[in-house]
Amino acid sequence: MVSRARGGAWDRKLVGPRLCVSLSGHSMAPPRPREGRGHRDHRWAPSEEEALEKWDWDCPETRRRFEDAFFRDEDYIRQGSEDCHKFWAFFERLQRFQTLKTSKKEETDPGHPKHCVPALADLPRPYDSRYRINLSVLGPDMRDIRGSGSQLPPKRVSEFRRALLHYLDFSQKQAFTRLAKLQRDRAALPIAQYRKCILQTLKQHQVVVVAGDTGCGKSTQVPQYLLAAGFSHVACTQPRRIACISLAKRVGFESLSQYGSQVGYQIRFESTRSAATKIVFLTVGLLLRQIQREPSLPQYKVLIVDEVHERQLHNDFLLGVLQHLLPTRPDLKVVLMSATINIMLFSSYFGNAPVVQVPGRLFPITVIYQPQEAEQTASKSERLDPRPFLRVLEAIDNKYPAEERGDLLVFLSGMAEIGAVLEAAQTYASHTQRWVVLPLHSALSVADQDKVFDVAPPGVRKCILSTNIAETSVTIDGIRFVVDSGKVKEMSYDPQAKLQRLQEFWISQASAEQRKGRAGRTGPGVCYRLYAESDYDAFTPYPVPEIRRVALDALVLQMKSMSVGDPRTFPFIEPPPPASLETAIQYLQEQGALDASEALTPIGCLLAQLPVDVVIGKMLILGSMFSLAEPVLTIAAALSVQSPFPRSAQSSLECAAARQPLDSDQGDPFTLFNVFNAWVQVKAERSQNSRKWCRRRGVEEHRLYEMANLRRQFKDLLEDHGLLAGAEAATPGDSYSRLQQRRERRALHQLKRQHEEGAGRRRKVLRLQEEAEDGSSDEDHAGPAARHAEDSVDIQDVKFKLRHNLEQLQAAASSAQALSREQLVLLKLVLARGLYPQLAVPDPFNSGRKDSDQIFHTQAKQGAVLHPTSVFASSPELLHVQEPQATCGGGSRDDKDKMSSKHQLLTFVSLLETNKLYLVNCVRVPALQSLLLFSRSLDTNGDCSRLVADSWLELQVVDSEGAVQLLAAALRLRACWESALDRQLSHQARWRRREQQQRRQRLGEEDEDEEEAESVSRAEVAALSRELLQFMATKVPYSLRRLTGLEAQNLYVGPQTVTATPKLPGLFGSSALSPHPTKGGYRVTNFLTYNCLLSDTDLYSDCLRTFWTCPRCDLHLPLTPLERMAHESACATDLHGGPGAEEATTEQSRKPSALQRPYHCDSCQKDFLFTPTEALRHRRQHM
């Protein structure tokens, strides 16, 4: 607590929330000393002089007592905070200074009594306000304190208070110095001269384009200009999360706003936004989600779209949405900020919006072209050659003295290239002791990314190995040298092959200039280009927009949910390829998200709300229906983040051995599932350190934190849509437990607050490589106690415990580890259903290949291999057929036609092509049952012993009768599954509409009739689960092989062979059979076509009829497989007394057959066309 002295000319609030400065233009008289207030001299009178002589300020107990008295939660400095450690360091320096002054004074005045010299000698006892900011500090002598604080000697309390006031004064003077320098730096930015122009133009127009070169300050200054001009609630979008965080910190520091108050950021899983926030930095995807919820964006007055020249997918879509929105929000202002790249494209898109062009502040940059030798380029290896980069390091060391500051920024194409150069550069740095090498890419944690902003020790330079993230999104001070590899890796999508390609390309000329500009921000710089000048001249002027090279299914789904019209006619700034849009629409229709009219289905509406891929969203919905929500939540979250297994851990045998108990033989998602659950258990056990646990197993812990955050987000979404019952927070039963829980949360909040308050002020210096292999940082001027306090607090762990209910997570992890065999089978079914048709079949000759040579084939691509992180990459025998029973064709085709009931397929999350074609995140599933349940096209021959799924996988079944039974069961299960899912989603859609109407109207009487919707009962789901488990347990020997291209072309009999349409209503319910127009045979359902496969025999002759006895009614007659299936269905209906049984039997008897003869029944006096057996059966009905 502080009281200000009177007489100041004006007050000004500074960096801290409670620090106030009283400044005046005239001298202020020293305040009268406070005497006699609260002094308890009677407690110390007998031995006060002796106590003063023996006083030890370095004693930990003494310091603790003073901290208890002066450093409370309501005071300027909190006990245990960074400021507390800094104060004691200041106090020690002050004592050394005063000791030196005292010794000099004793030399001139040796008769001065030693015990009369105070610890803070040569200072006036009444504190002079002319030398300090007018503050007074409350201590044990000014407030009612009981305990150890009340027993402190009054003289020492007074001396401590004076030192504390000196420290606060010193800190505020430092803050003023930094503020003055900050204002000078801001005024020197090129954009400062255009402040009035930007504000005036924005007042006159709704859209303004601000084009500024690198270093002009547009990203940090324009939001502050708008806020100072009276524009409240400013949102600034950034394409990357790291840019949101760094810009929010910088703008918060420049505006003297407490971090997380007036200036904040909002990214996925993390937000410092509050009710007081006036400027918020957020990602483009997050803003689009907000528009999806509130299309008019009433919470913002100004939208700043930064880095529009990067032409990212979401940025281009956002511009189209804003073009729709602006006519309905004339009060909304939009500022488009871009580098000086293709500016007129953005201006013309918004009706020739005015452009304010700001020149950059670039110093001269020397460009040196160093093309790689031809022999290196010719001998292209899988790993990047780091020697050209090391030669640049050597050139800098030889040409520039170590005293000259200036760091190096290296642009590489991807993480693999960063890893290759990082290893070689660290070896070089350890020998020279002149470099600290740091990586920078989006896969790093925020803490690791922040290390690039730290400073190197004297005589040492930073070498930052970065992807193109450092081109525009991140500005690193002190860069003097740039190495441009000229390459970039971009993700492209092949709609025909349905795979993602991470390919390396030459950059554009615009990107090359952006990279070069990073070297000239703080002084003259040098740019080393590792390519020829002729290569630069051949570069394209601008990069290819992302919308023209990526899959658009997520974008189309989001557009449908936002009701912005037909994606084909949406006014994109540059339209995507029509083929990509058509492929996306077709894919969403196949997944059930869009119906035939391209409108959202109930499942599509829910998928649009989930910030994940469509297949992951389907898993979540199906898991909630089968009461497997908890494990599916974890698996879905694990599949939605980057792999937690880094490249370095793949080659470590120790990490692999430690992680081996967590590996699952079912597939990679189950391994991730086990790792997450084990990590949660470690978190719940307070005695264990989760960071060490992860490091020992080669797991990146920040990926597990992301999984936990995403899991909670999924759970909240499912609860909001009524697909998951809200979990009630477990409340401790007794008052002591509740008190303990509150204390723990209060302590966690205090740790988080201390970290946030200290994070912006700490000055860090990097350590050399051999001292800290992880490149961690220490405080520049903090003592060992401060560093120990910082290292002992895992801020990610603090945030995790504040954000999540650890007891609920632990309970979910424990129950997941105890999954029964039946639950595991159902869980695999849910995953397979969500991932279908992403299937791969093992090559028939894999059993004779090495682990790394295992080959798999998808429908569109051949020769894929397992990703190195896959559990099957090290244990491929799990995918080999273990049960050979017979071999077709006399073994002439080796393993291709091997008969077994244990053939397996791999279902995968993604297909990624880099230097190889990789299957990523695979699960093994039984082939026959999975294809029967999930295939979108299922074709059979006459006796159903030959099945072809999706026109590329052939199954040959020895027992045609067993095949018929499996097919009939699959048809029934598919119908039940689809019906249950549709009813469940329709019910939840009505429930959600009802909730929204009740919130808006507060009265729901008119909607009561619509509220009633049939839901799926638990008994129905349990019965379906039992039937699915029985179906999966069926053992039928069969062969599995991939059709060749020639076989696929000559697969069907064609429509000309169809002569008549059978009438078999009993087999397929109310489905009407019709000839298939292209395949031939009979179309039974939208996925099943009977008797359409080409064979050497006449599939439509009576030779397919075989004698068969019905086990229910003892009917014995020759039937085709289709007739047999129809009779079984009709007979079962008759036995269960179902309605229409007699009609079905009569209709069945009317089928034409060569054995049928006219028959007259004397009992019912009717004429029929019966076979002899049918006539016998008819007579039995009258007995």
Residue closest to 626 by CA, chosen among 1026, 1094, 347 = 1026
The predicted pLDDT at position 762 comes to: 55
> In angstroms, what is the C-alpha Rg of the chain?
38
Q: Which residues, 6 or more positions from 575, have their beta carbon under 8 angstroms from its beta carbon?
A: none
DSSP string, 759-826: HTT--EEEPPTTT-TT--EEESS--HHHHHHHHH--HHHHHHHHHS-HHHHHHHHHHHHT--HHHHHH
What the block records as the tokens of 495 is 């709609």
The predicted pLDDT at position 1146 comes to: 42
- Provide the H-helix boundaries in 458-563: 509-517, 533-538, 553-562
CATH class of 189-358: alpha beta
The predicted pLDDT at position 898 comes to: 78
What are the CA-CA distances from residue 931 to residues 855, 927, 939, 962, 1033 (Å)?
Answer: 21, 6, 11, 16, 15
Percent of the chain exceeding pLDDT 70 equals: 76
Give the mean model confidence (pLDDT) for residues 210-225: 88
DSSP string, 62-130: HHHHHHHHH--TTSSS-TTSHHHHHHHHHHHHHHHHHHHHHHHHHHH-TTS-GGGS-TTTTS-SSPPGG
Q: What is the pLDDT of residues 475-503, one digit of tens each?
A: 788 899 999 999 998 877 776 666 778 88
Q: Which residue has the tokens 């994109």?
A: 572
Collapsed DSSP state (helix, strand, coil) of residue 955: strand
Report CA 1015 to chain centroid distance, whole Å.
Answer: 33
Mean of per-residue pLDDT scores for the chain:
78
Q: What is the pLDDT of residues 283-322, one digit of tens each?
A: 999 999 899 889 999 999 999 999 898 889 999 999 999 9
Q: What is the pLDDT of residues 649-659, one digit of tens each?
A: 777 888 888 99
pLDDT band at 7 (very low <50, low <70, confident <90, very high): very low
CA dist., res. 97 & res. 682, Å (int): 49
Domain chopping of the chain, boundaries: 10-184, 189-358, 365-548, 573-726+801-821, 743-799, 835-894+906-920+931-1003+1010-1053, 1057-1078+1093-1181
Give the mean model confidence (pLDDT) for residues 340-359: 90
Q: What is the pLDDT of residues 875-919, one digit of tens each?
A: 888 888 765 544 444 434 444 567 899 999 999 988 888 888 999
Q: Phi/psi at 545 (nearest 5 deg)?
A: -60, 145
**Which runs of E-coded beta strand occur in 943-1018?**
946-949, 953-957
The predicted pLDDT at position 667 comes to: 93
Element (H, E) at 461: strand 461-466
Residue closest to 713 by CA, chosen among 642, 641, 797 = 641
Residue closest to 220 by CA, chosen among 240, 258, 177, 249 = 249
The residues with which 465 forms a beta bridge, in sequence order, are 410, 439
Report CA 776 to chain centroid distance, whole Å.
Answer: 25
Instruction: Tell me which architecture the domain covering 365-548 has in CATH.
Output: 3-Layer(aba) Sandwich (3.40)
Q: What is the pLDDT of residues 557-588, one digit of tens each?
A: 999 999 898 999 999 999 999 988 998 998 89
**Residue 740 clears pLDDT 60, i.e. is over it:** yes
Element (H, E) at 918: strand 917-926
Q: What is the pLDDT of residues 923-938, one digit of tens each?
A: 999 999 999 999 999 9
Give the mean model confidence (pLDDT) for residues 1095-1118: 66
The residues with which 333 forms a beta bridge, in sequence order, are 302
pLDDT band at 722 (very low <50, low <70, confident <90, very high): confident
Q: What is the pLDDT of residues 1140-1182, one digit of tens each?
A: 444 434 444 444 444 566 777 888 878 777 766 677 777 777 7
What are the CA-CA distances from residue 153 to residues 140, 158, 197, 730, 1162 (Å)?
Answer: 10, 9, 63, 48, 124
CB 768 within 8 A of CB 457: yes
CA dist., res. 555 & res. 574, Å (int): 15
Percent of the chain exceeding pLDDT 90 equals: 30
- Most confident by average pLDDT, 75-79, 602-606, 636-640: 636-640
The predicted pLDDT at position 21 comes to: 36
3-state helix, strand, coil in the chain (%, to 5): 45, 15, 35
What the block records as the tokens of 906 is 């791999």
Of residues 607 and 46, the one with the higher pLDDT is 607
Biggest alpha carbon–alpha carbon distance for the chain: 147
CA dist., res. 968 & res. 962, Å (int): 10
pTM of the model: 0.74
**Residue 596 clears pLDDT 90, i.e. is over it:** no
573-726+801-821 maps to which CATH number?
Answer: 1.20.120.1080
* 189-358 and 365-548, same CATH topology: yes
**Residue 958 clears pLDDT 90, i.e. is over it:** no
pLDDT band at 981 (very low <50, low <70, confident <90, very high): confident
Burial 118-145, CB ≥16 within 10 A → b, else e: bbbbebeeebebeebbbbbbbbbbbeeb
Of residues 1012 and 805, the one with the higher pLDDT is 805
Q: What is the pLDDT of residues 1026-1085, one digit of tens each?
A: 999 999 999 899 999 999 888 888 899 887 644 455 554 445 555 567 888 888 888 888
